[in-house]
Structures are given as structure tokens and as C-alpha cells.
Amino acid sequence: MARGRLRIYLGAAPGVGKTVAMLDEGHRRLDRGTDVVVGLVETHERAHTRALLEGLELVPRARVGHRGATLDEMDLDRLLARRPQVALVDELAHTNAPGSRNEKRWQDIEELLEAGIDVVSTVNVQHLESLNDAVTAITGVVQRETVPDAVVRAADQIELVDMSPEALRRRMAHGNVYAPEKVDAALANYFRVGNLSALRELALLWLADRVDEGIGRYRADHGIDATWPTRERVVVAVSGGPEGEVLLRRAARIAARGAGGELLAVHVARSDGLAGPTLPDLVTQRRLTDELGGSFHTVTGDDLPEAVLDFARGVNASQVVIGSSRRARWRTLLSPSTTEEVITRSGDIDVHVVTHRFAHGKGRRVSRAALPKRRVRLGYALAVVGPFALTEALVGLPEDPDLPLTVPLFLLLSVLTALLGGMGPAVVGALTSSLFLNWFFTPPTGGLTISQPQNAVALLVFVVVAAAVAWVVHRSARRADRALRAQAEASALAELSHTLLGSTDQLALLLARAVEMFGAEAAAVVHRGRSGSEVVAATDASLTPDDLRREGLPRAEADDAHDLVLVGAAVPAGRQRLLAAFAAHAGAILQRRSLQASAGEAAALARDNSARTALLSAVSHDLRTPLAGIKAAIGSLRSSEVTFSPEDEAELEAAIEDSADRLDALIGNLLDMSRLQAGALVAHPRAVDLGEVVPGVVDAVAEPERVQWHLDPAARVVHTDAGLLDRVLGNVVENALRHQPAPGCVRVTTSALGGRVHIRVVDTGPGVPEGDRDRIFLPFQRHGDAPGGDGVGLGLAVARGLAEAMGGRVTAEDTPGGGLTMVVDLPSEEEAG
């Protein structure tokens, strides 16, 4: 059986017309003779939507019971038995009622598709899993119902139902989306113009990416290599050299000229594993690419121009940015540069060549020495002394040797010179040998004249062969040197990374490894500041900034503000890359430390905000009760319409006194809390007997007879502030009583666990789902209230804030058999000691 086809109408927000578009499509197909039924449509009491249902067959909904309520859901079994050609199923991301066959509606739709039924559905962009965090950041509303992006991407057709924010707000104002009583709140919150504009952009960009994926698949399926400039993609080729920053910034400006332009940086690494650019240079260019809003890619290849162009064609790029060649001009005459090759092979891709101060050999010079200096010196000595010695030996023979014998001998000498000293000594040796050959062994001897043409050719070939062998030796030596350096660097960095992963003090370990690797006396990380240098870390505690500022000390830049400095070591040019890699590791460690410090500061700010929130909650919630009692009692006593007996007056006066005492205690605690957050006051923890606190808390609640308490003798003494603890327990117990069904009782018990004391306040009320337990501590909310509906009570915010100020915490967990248990976790006196 052929799988059904899925069509999805995607919208940026509720009310843009997705359901209407789906029903219009249903009518269109019905008029065409297609068997269409409505599996499920949510009209949201909109008259126009209800009118569109007329003429369409509706499959009756299934009734699902849950917690004493009856919910309507799509009847999947009946719809499968009906087997229409097309089913209209609204709200793809909907979560089915517990007890349904599938958890999500998109899973129901998957069964319909597998049965060969075409489905038309709807979804809003805020329900896409990949965009959930972005939508939350924009609107401040967490979407609980999401659908995997893969489900939507797999649809055969995705059609955007678009509407400008202003038009959608007008629809809402006219009552075409929500009921009149909800319109003002919606327009002032979720449906602000800024929110709707951002959601619309998310929807357009997400759909544009899907369209781009479809174009990529089509081009791959049809073998299309030519560039389709549907979007301005700019590829910038970076080698890790000093010109990379100039190229990246220029490419970013080019990409920004067109709407939706993309910047892609590509670095081609050698497939033979030879050493390339330094790690810090690549890290810097990768970071700059991220800052410019682009993406950094690394590909492998020996043919650099072809690798760059293959990448550009693979991403359907329209332009390539590349720098002017750093090779000297005379070398480009011998062989074309990478830049010229890219231009020649680019085809229909535009190539921008950016000049820079390092072009054509200008600016920073790169050392090309490959052989050790000692070998080069020995090579020059052999190039000068060798021809003399060989000539002396040949001249001393009884018979004069012929040219066919002497030329190979001198050629052998030139090859040995090339093998020993490389290009320079080989050229000197070849020229010296050719002079000796010409003078002593080429007729007529005793002069530089050559009488026979073949002898001239032989000498010329001799020089060419010697130079060619020298060039091969020199190049092989350079490549071998680079390979050895790359292997040494890779081994050292792999060992360093492995060691750092298991270390708690990574910077100290890195400095110790640097001392071992470079044979230094000491190593240090120095901070460069306007007022001078500062030693951040060092293997020798006696090092001062003045010691590390001395000229000639090997140093490498770790980041924008720090250097890695070695003392008592000479780092050769061949190991500068390794030193730079160590410095890059040091910079990463420092950055991680900075991020950890920032996270700690953010956590401290969060705790401060939590305490301030608790303070506001207490002011708005707990101050109101005693003030209302005092005002009511005084108003009654001053009333001239009622005459109270002495007993009634005494009762009212006692109520005033009791409320004033509660108000005084509360204000004192809140002022202490405020001073604590300002740093002017610390909590005063001491040994507190819960047997003195819990009874007072129970007596102070509204219905003390509904509270039962039992204290474990082993969990009776805690180390805390008694006044703050009284507020915490009072709020938690009052909250439990509020949700405890009558005539049941709230239980307060204690237990000891791992040096901590847990005070449990247990109720058997409706409980709270696990996913909502953190939100019940948000202030100014109650469980079940609209629109938040995520809080259990205002007092819980006070309880958590005060508990954390004392070094404790308040958490929520299930009550076995149903209900909620609030756990107040405090240090015991033994743990504090």
C-alpha cells in the first residue's frame, strides 16, 4: 500500500488562518470529487471557522476519561476504519489525553499516513522543537507541546500561512481570534508587534532553510553541478596566514550587501598531515568568523584550488573571496599561484581577489630553512674541497682519464654534496666541479675553451642534473622536517590534552609540561595591563613581572590579554608552532576560568534576585493579613452602630495585639533579610531545637487542629536562624493546609540523612506534576490560576528565599498515595560543627 502524503500549513502565531486554509483545501478537494473527512478541527468558537465545516463529513470524536474529567480526542480507530482519501487533522503538535493510543497527535497522523491516507494538518512555528528556546526567549512563554522538526521536514508539502503583525492584531481587536474578554490581555502580552514580527521572521527563515534543503536534494538527484544563485553565499578561503582577518572582514561586507547573505570560511588542510598554520592563528580566525556571523569549515585536499571550488559548489556559493598570492612575483612566472588557479577553474562562480600587505612576498618573511646549519656548512666545505681532492686524485693516475669517466665521478660528488647540504652547497659544488672538469679534463685542457660540442652538452647536463638532485633533496628534507614537526606537535598536544582532562589545576599542569617540553627553568602566564604586567600563574613563585619582561625571553600570545613566557630556554624556529599551541591551550584554560567565574557571579545574582523576589512576595502576601485584621478590629471598636460587650471588646483588642505582634515579627525578619542581601547583615545560625519552633508554628496557623507533628529524637537539633526558620515553616504549613482536603490533616515530621535534617510537611491534596515543581516557587501565582497557573502559593517563594539565605533549601516531592510533600533541608548541629 502506498504511503499517504502529508501537507502542513505553517503559521507564525495563532489566528493567522491556518485552520481556515486547511478547510478551504478540504472544500477544494471535495469539489474535485475526492473523499475528504474532518478527523479533528479546533474551531476555538470562531464563527467563520465553524461555517467552513458545513458540507464536510466529521468523524465523531472519542471520549477519554482522565482524573474524573472527560476529554474529546480524535477517534483514530474510527478514522482508520472509515479510510477516506484525505483526512483534515488540526494542531499537529497537540498532546493527546492520557489513555490514548499515542502520546502525540503527530504519531496518530503517522499511522494515518502508513495506512495510505493523505493528511492535511496545521502547526505554529513556536511548536517546532528546534525553535522552542528561541520562542521562549522572545515571548517569555514556555511551549509545552512540541513536534520534532524531522516530522515537519518529512512533509510532502509545507505551505506558509502569512499575515503581518498589524493585520493579526486587527483581527484580534475585532474578536476574530479570541473572546472579547481575552483580547486586551493577549494584545498586551504575547501578541505584541515585536513578538509577532520576530515569530514571523523565524517562520520565514525556517521555511527558507527547508526550501534550500529541497533545492540541494534536487540538484544532487539530477547531477547538477552548476551554481544556482538562489541565496548570496560567499565562501572565503583562509590559509591561517596573517592576511586571514582582512579576507574575512571583506567577505563579511560582501555577504551583508544582500538580504539573507551567508558567510562561509573554508580552510584546506593537507591530506599528508604535514604541519600547516599554527593552531592559535586558526583559532583566532575561527573566532572572528563566528563574531562576523559566519561558519568555519575545514576540508582536506592536496589540490588547494580544486578543494576550495569543490566546497563552494557543494554549498551552492555564488562568490569566492581569496587573497592575493604571498609568493614572490618571479615564482608565479614559473608556476601559477593558487589565486590564479582558482580564477581559471571557477567557471560561473565570481572570484574576488583581495590584496593585502603580505601579497607577493611583502611583509612578514617565512623561513624556508629545512636542513640543520651544521649540515649546510659541511655541504659548502665539501662543495669547495671535494672538487680539489677529486681532481688531485684523477690527475695523479698513470694515464689521463677520459671525460666519460671523470664526468660521472664529479656528478657523484655533486650528488653527495646535495644530499649533505641541500640546494646552496649543491649549486656551488656543481659550478666548481664544472670548472675543474673544463680546465683539467675537457680538451683542450688548461683553459676554459671547449673544442667539441658534445663535451659542452655533457657539462651542461652535468650542472642540470646536479641542480635537479639538489632541488629534490632540499624539498624532501623540508617535507620530512615539516612531517616530523607535525608528528611531534600532534603527539605533544595529544598527550597534553589527555593529561589536562584529568587535572583539577589545568594551568599549573600546562606550565609544568611546558617546562619539560622546552627544557626551560620556569614558565609563567603573564597578564598585560595598562599599569604593567601581572603574573597570573608560574611554576616558580619567586618570579616577578620584571623578571618576565626581560628581552629575549621566548613568549607566545595566549589571548588578547595574556602571554605564555619561558625562562631559561631557547626555542628554535622549528618549535615556535608548538610554543604557540601551548599558549593557545593556556588561553582556553583562562577563558574557561573566566566563564566559570561569570557563571558563579550569575548564580550569586540569581540568588540575590530570588531573595528579593521572596521579600516582595512576603510584603504583598503576609503583611496584608495582619494589617487587615488590625483594621477590621479597630473599625469595629470605633463603630457607633454596634455596642460590644466587655468580653467582645477584649477579644477584639487581643486580635489587634496578636496581629501587631505578627506584623512586628514579620517586619523584623524582612528587614533582616533585606540587610542580609545588601551585605550589611549575616544570618545568625545557632543550635535550634525544633521542639521549640514547630509547636509555635503550628499554633500560629489558621487551623492548628488540622496539623499533626512528630519529631525524631535523632533529627531534632538544627543549625539555623530561628526567626527565619519560623517564617519558612509557617509558609510551608499554611500552603499545605490550603490544599489539604478536609477533614484530613497535614503531617509534619523530621528525619536525619547524611548530616542534614529534613523537615517534611506532608499533604494528600491534588499534588503537582513533576515538570511543574520548580515553577510552584514563583511568586504571585497560585496553582490553577490563569494565565500562569504554575504556582501553588505566594508563601512558597518566601520559604525558598529565606531557606537559601540560611544555607538550606526547600524542595517538593510526591506524597506516596497522592499529594505533595515539601522538604525543608537544613544542616544539623553536628555537620555545622
- Catalytically active residues are 621
- Secondary structure letter of residue 385 according to DSSP: H
In angstroms, rounded to a whole number, what is the distance separating the alpha carbons of residues 252 and 274? 30
Distance CA 247, CA 317 (A): 16
Q: What is the DSSP letter of 45?
A: T
Nearest Cα neighbor of 590 from 532, 471, 507, 491 is 507
Report DSSP letters for 482-542, one per residue: HHHHHHHHHHHHHHHHHHHHT-SSHHHHHHHHHHHHHT-SEEEEEEEETTEEEEEEESSTT
User: CB neighbours of 665 closer than 8 A, spacing ≥ 6?
Assistant: 723, 726
CA distance 288 to 296: 10
Other beta carbons within 10 angstroms of residue 441's beta carbon come to 21
Q: In sequence order, what are the residues at sequence separation of 6 or more whose Cβ sits closer than 8 angstroms to the Cβ of residue 657?
A: none
User: What's the distance, Cα to Cα, between the start and end of the chain in Å?
Assistant: 74
Q: Identify the DSSP state of 243.
A: T
What is d(CA 80, CA 114) in angstroms, rounded to the nearest whole number?
10
CA 244 to each of CA 107, 568, 652: distance values in angstroms, whole numbers, following the listed order: 49, 34, 83
Work out whether strand 262-269 and strand 756-762 pair parallel, antiparallel, or are unpaired. unpaired
Residue pair 88/56 in contact (Cβ under 8 Å)? The answer is yes
How long is the chain?
A: 833
User: What are the contacts of 71-77 at 24+ separation with CB within 8 A?
Assistant: 71/97, 73/40, 73/97, 73/100, 74/39, 74/40, 74/105, 74/108, 76/101, 76/102, 76/108, 76/111, 76/112, 77/101
Helix (H) or strand (E) holding 86: strand 86-89
Residues 727 and 688: beta-carbon distance below 8 Å: no
Work out the angle at residue 273's Cα, subtended by the Cα atoms of residues 267 and 278, and round it to the nearest 5 degrees.
Answer: 55
Q: Which long-range contacts (CB under 8 A, 24 or more apart) does 567-573 make?
A: 567/520, 567/521, 567/522, 567/523, 567/524, 567/540, 567/543, 568/520, 568/521, 568/522, 569/518, 569/519, 569/520, 569/521, 571/518, 573/367, 573/369
Query: CA-CA distance, 770 to 763, in Å (whole number)?
Result: 16
Whole-number Å distance between alpha carbons of 201 and 134: 12
Number of CB atoms found within 10 A of residue 436's CB: 21
Q: Please, is 804 exposed, middle or buried when counting C-beta atoms within 10 Å of its C-beta (0-12, 13-18, 19+)?
A: middle
**What's the one-letter identity of residue 707?**
V
Contact 251, 234 (CB under 8 A): yes
